[in-house]
Chain A
């Protein structure tokens, strides 16, 4: 397959082709760019996670006794901004999507490699602006930047935070644009739409959202910054403006954004469940249409974040109804994954453990979304910890579990090394336990009435016990996330070399060496098989790792 060699006689791979910092910072190889993103998102994950730990520590006791009120407000704001814009939105598309999509469709690179590098630089610049915001004293608008608080009343670094989000938004837009063009125009001969891996379908749907939605939050943020700079009145009632206009513009993107965060994860889960059940997916067409359906209908539900904000009764009814529509394709996917396991030949390697975790936790998270779409219930639980629990179930129990599963699944391909399976399984279980302990109590807290973004709850000490459970869980969760950091790094040096296809999995990425050579394929593949052709693939998942 790959016959090129470098001077030392080793096979040429994308990692050893060139050394030196310039070869990385000026690379146009989608695989190297994926690793550059990996460094960035991992860094921001730990920054955002650190803020979360401080928040949870403060909430151990009802009184605000760890940090001051303003500091606490900055902590939860920056936890949200860093995690949403610098981790969750880019993580799967920019790391795994970048690495795998060209290979999965039989191409040598994305359609626009230089724009891919530009995307990374935009991410870094946005990240630097965010870092500056943090170091210059932070920002305390809440990740949602609601006006007129953010435009008229706060004295913190709102404009630099807005700029950081604005710039990173363009990173997201260009990545989405690149993926759409790549998937349309760069598929190898024989790779028809109906043969695409569901990972690719998921990223295609995600990219549509990125391209259509992100510009709207960009302009909303720009208007906030302008309003702050020049004391305009676009969102200020004292000058004739309307704070709800900001909320509409903000949520028009930020609701579809949550689908940017979850759809790629669903793509990963499809790949893993099929491989570790040795089966084609149940209902390929339904699965592909479901991700498109989620992407489209996801644009029609944004005001379900505003049921008590002062919108009209009739608007609320319509958005509640549409929110129930968007729940259907998600439910279909859970049923299809379960059905894929039926009469499979299942093994329990680490990626599959994470996939199980995803299915369970996404089910709970998604079901609690039904609670929130229900108008009568939402009035009570919106702006409480019930919502916090809901979205963490989806984003952490869903997206991050899927990401971890994907990283373990494709790590041999990316690094050429095997991670230690025992530690992989152990971390997965620690994460699962820590996660549920952290966030399940928050559903109860929310229904009891504990509002979000509260630094001090000393007038309501009945909330303490559940907060203590939640903080305990967070510390367990932190351990679960630190472990893969350590053993992935360890494996790069000491891990066993990975074969081309350690899982006997289907897909073009498993037909090339681990790690891949720079141009992926020596010759352009011609695809003659269906996706998930596990009936043709001989052998099971190897047990020995």
Chain B
């Protein structure tokens, strides 16, 4: 129905449906409010225009009215808040088995790398009907990953990962915009998200023998010497990384945190920041020695360690059967 309203943006994700619903609710309430105020102002302006013999009536105020028209709007606002908060909570909590794509933003292009190894520039191919999580970082300034058709947006920061997710519902080609001003060609940093039927997606994915991201990571893990300390068979000088992703880690200063992508990334570029309990702080930093793409591959590899074999390379990629 909404497709028939001129200028209404296309909806192509589950989030879009939720956001449009609360937006329409806001629109309706606001329109009612605007109409009421406009009507009253115009009506009073006409009804109470100056007339000979009828002076203005001095009315000091009314506590009852003040309280009423404070509380009622407040309650309405709380509905706006609650509804929006629920949607936001869902947007900020990617589903567990979402397929993953690593995105690196730089002035002025988007680079995407699928777990299967496909690389894309300014384009992102995804299958319809699947949860997709983008794990993003910037090589330079702050950018923002914005897909209007999905109603999602997330700033992309240098030096850390930020995450967004979506569940596409409609095949098609949709705008991808950079939404955080990033310099000269900010308006040129745009591309397309291409949502495909699953079989078309598999066809697209099948072309070209790309090396899966985690395998790239595994190779780097060996080349860079990580494997000498982070052994999977015995306890090396560094913690065993099998199964580390998503689990709690106890640090030497007593804190416990969950090993997420940002923790793994930080451990590579600033290993001294958080030392695992029981280990010595001897890991060298790789800051400046590896690119963001290589970092993504390493993170993807570490995440894949200890996961059930069947999904080691297939679980996080999108060609697997829809869950």
Q: Which residues of A contact B (CB under 8 A)?
A: 64, 69-70, 73, 140, 142, 146, 148-149, 152-154, 237-238, 240, 243-244, 277-280, 282-286, 307-310, 313, 316-317, 320-321, 324, 327-328, 331-332, 334-336, 338-339, 341-348, 356, 359-360, 363-364, 367-368, 370-371, 373-380, 382-384, 444, 447-449, 451-457, 459-460, 466, 534-535, 540-541
Quick check: A534 and B58 within 8 Å, CB to CB? yes
* Interchain CA distance A380-B155 in the complex, whole Å: 12
In the complex, the chain A residue whose C-beta lies closest to that of B74 is A328
Of B56, B69, B155, the contact of A277 (CB 8 Å cutoff): B56
CB<8 Å pairs between A and B, sample of 10: A73-B184, A152-B141, A238-B159, A313-B89, A320-B85, A324-B78, A342-B44, A373-B80, A382-B179, A449-B149
Known: A324-B81, A449-B177. A146 touches B48 (CB 8 A): no
Q: Say whether B37 contacts A534, CB under 8 Å.
A: no
A334 to chain B: which residues have CB within 8 Å?
37
- For A375, the closest partner residue in chain B by CB is B88
For B180, list chain A residues within 8 Å (CB): 146, 383
Q: Which of B62, B80, B148, B160 contacts A449 (CB 8 A)?
A: B148
- Provide the bound-state CA to CA distance between A307 and B144, in Å: 12
Q: List, in ascending order, chain A residues with CB within 8 A of B40's CB.
A: 338
CA A11 – CA B11 in complex, angstroms? Answer: 71
Is the Cβ of B55 less than 8 Å from the Cβ of A278? yes
Q: Which of A279, A342, A455 contacts B187 (CB 8 A)?
A: A455
12 A-B pairs besides A342-B48, A376-B19, A451-B177 with CB distance below 8 A are A280-B59, A282-B62, A284-B60, A328-B70, A335-B69, A339-B65, A347-B49, A363-B38, A374-B80, A375-B88, A448-B8, A535-B58
Task: Tell me if B162 and A310 are in contact (CB < 8 A).
Answer: yes
Known: A284-B61, A342-B48, A383-B180. A360 touches B37 (CB 8 A): yes
Complex CA distance for A308 and B92, rounded to whole angstroms: 10
Interface positions, chain B 105-154, Cβ under 8 Å from A, are: 107, 140-142, 144, 146, 148-149, 151-154
| B contact face: mostly helix, strand, loop, or mixed | mixed
A453, B87: Cβ atoms closer than 8 Å: no
Contact A454 B187 (CB under 8 A): yes
Q: CA of A448 to CA of B41 in the docked complex: distance in angstroms?
A: 32
Does any Cβ of A come within 8 Å of B99's Cβ?
no
Distance between Cα atoms of A360 and B78 in the complex (Å): 24
Q: Which residue of B lies closest to A368 (CB)?
A: B30
B179 touches A373 (CB 8 A): no
Q: Which one, B41, B54, B91, B158, contacts A360 given CB within 8 A?
A: B41
Chain B residues within CB distance 8 Å of chain A: 7-9, 18-19, 22-23, 26, 30, 33-34, 37-38, 40-41, 44-45, 48-51, 54-62, 65-66, 69-70, 73-74, 77-78, 80-81, 83-89, 91-93, 107, 140-142, 144, 146, 148-149, 151-155, 157-160, 162, 175, 177-188, 190, 270, 287
Q: Is the CB of B159 within 8 A of A367?
A: no
**B80, closest chain A residue (CB):** A374
A72 to B, closest residue via Cβ: B187
A73 CA to B185 CA, complexed, in Å: 9
Whole-angstrom CA separation of A106 from B89 in the bound complex: 54
CA distance A456 to B178 in the complex (A): 13
Contacts of B158 in A (CB 8 A): 148, 237-238, 243
The reply to whether A451 and B33 form a contact with Cβ atoms under 8 Å apart is no
- Interchain CB contact under 8 A, B181 and A376: no
In the A-B complex, list the 5 residue pairs whose CB atoms are closest, starting with the nearest.
A449-B148, A237-B159, A376-B87, A375-B88, A374-B84
Chain B residue at smallest Cβ distance from A284: B61
Whether the pair B73, A331 counts as a contact (CB closer than 8 A) is: yes
Given the complex of chains A and B, what is the CA–CA distance between A240 and B287 in angstroms? 11
A324 to chain B: which residues have CB within 8 Å? 74, 77-78, 80-81
Bound-complex Cα distance A161 to B77 (A) = 39
Residues on B with beta carbons closer than 8 Å to the beta carbon of A285: 61
Q: Report yes or no: B186 in contact with A320, Cβ–Cβ below 8 A.
A: no
**Do A347 and B41 touch (CB < 8 A)?**
no
In the complex the two chains form, is A342's CB within 8 Å of B59's CB?
Answer: yes
How many angstroms between the C-alpha atoms of A64 and B184 in the bound complex?
12
How many whole Å from A196's CB to the nearest CB in chain B? 16
> In whole angstroms, how far apart are the Cα atoms of A380 and B144 in the complex?
12
Q: Establish whether residues B88 and A316, one from each chain, have CB atoms under 8 Å apart when the complex forms.
A: yes
Q: Is the CB–CB distance between B152 and A380 below 8 Å?
A: yes
The chain A residue sitting closest to B31, CB to CB, is A367
Q: Residue on B with the closest CB to A458?
A: B187
Specify the chain B residue showing the minimal Cβ separation from A371.
B26
Q: Considering only CB atoms, which chain B residue lies closest to A70 in the complex?
A: B184
A148 and B57 alpha carbons, distance in the complex (Å)? 59
Within the complex, the shortest CB–CB distance from B185 to chain A, in Å, comes to 6
Residue contact B59 to A279, C-beta cutoff 8 Å: yes
Residues on B with beta carbons closer than 8 Å to the beta carbon of A142: 181
A377 touches B9 (CB 8 A): no
Evaluate contact between B81 and A283: CB separation under 8 angstroms: no
Q: How far is the CA of A339 from the CA of B85 in the complex (A)?
A: 34
Q: Could you say which of B59, B107, B187 contacts A456, with CB atoms under 8 Å apart?
A: B187
Q: Which residues of B contact A344 (CB under 8 A)?
A: 44, 48, 56-57
Nearest residue, chain B, Cβ from A341: B44
**Nearest-Cβ distance from residue A53 to partner chain B, whole angstroms:** 19
Contact B7 A343 (CB under 8 A): no
| In the complex with contacts A342-B48, A363-B34, A447-B187 CB distance below 8 A | no
Docked-complex contact A360 and B38, CB < 8 angstroms: yes
How far, in angstroms, from A284 to B93 measured CA to CA in the complex? 47
Instruction: Say whether B37 contacts A363, CB under 8 Å.
Output: yes
Residues on A with beta carbons closer than 8 Å to the beta carbon of B159: 237-238
Q: Are A338 and B44 in contact (CB under 8 A)?
A: yes
- Given A243-B142, A363-B33: A375 and B184 interface contact (C-beta under 8 Å): no
Q: Please, which residues of chain B bring their CB within 8 A of the CB of A535?
A: 58
- Does B157 contact A348, Cβ atoms closer than 8 Å? no
**Contacts A70-B184, A374-B26, A451-B179 given: A379-B58 contact, CB under 8 Å?**
no
A348: B residues at CB distance < 8 A: 45, 49
Residues of A within 8 A of B56 (CB): 277-279, 343-345, 534
By the criterion CB–CB under 8 Å, are B66 and A332 in contact? yes
Q: Which residues of B contact A377 (CB under 8 A)?
A: 19, 22-23, 26, 84
Q: Are B88 and A376 in contact (CB under 8 A)?
A: yes
CB pair A380 B19 closer than 8 Å = yes
- Residues of A with C-beta under 8 A to B157: 237, 243-244, 310
A277 touching B88, Cβ below 8 Å: no
Among B61, B73, B141, B177, which residue has its beta carbon within 8 angstroms of that of A283? B61
Whether the pair B48, A341 counts as a contact (CB closer than 8 A) is yes
- Could you say which residues of chain B place their CB within 8 Å of the CB of A154? 183
B67's nearest neighbour on chain A, judged by CB, is: A286
* Chain A residues, Cβ within 8 Å of B58: 279-280, 534-535
Please judge, given known A-B contacts A142-B181, A153-B107, whether A379 and B141 are in contact too, CB under 8 Å: no
The listed residue with most B CB atoms (<10 A of its CB), out of A243, A282, A375, A466, is A375
A452 and B181 contact, CB distance less than 8 A: yes
B86 to chain A, nearest CB (A): 8
- In contact, B155 and A308 (Cβ under 8 angstroms): yes
* Closest residue of A by beta carbon distance from B177: A451
- Return the contact of A346 from the options B45, B78, B92 (Cβ within 8 A): B45
Q: Are A373 and B50 in contact (CB under 8 A)?
A: no
Nearest residue in A to B151 (C-beta to C-beta)? A380
Asked if B155 and A309 sit within 8 Å, CB to CB, the answer is yes
B37–A454 contact, CB under 8 A?
Answer: no
Contact of B50 with A345 in the complex, beta carbons under 8 Å = yes
Of B80, B86, B153, B162, which contacts A383 at CB under 8 A?
B153
Contact between A367 and B178, CB atoms less than 8 A apart = no
Shortest Cβ distance from A77 into B: residue: B181
Complex-state Cα separation, A116 to B8, whole angstroms: 51
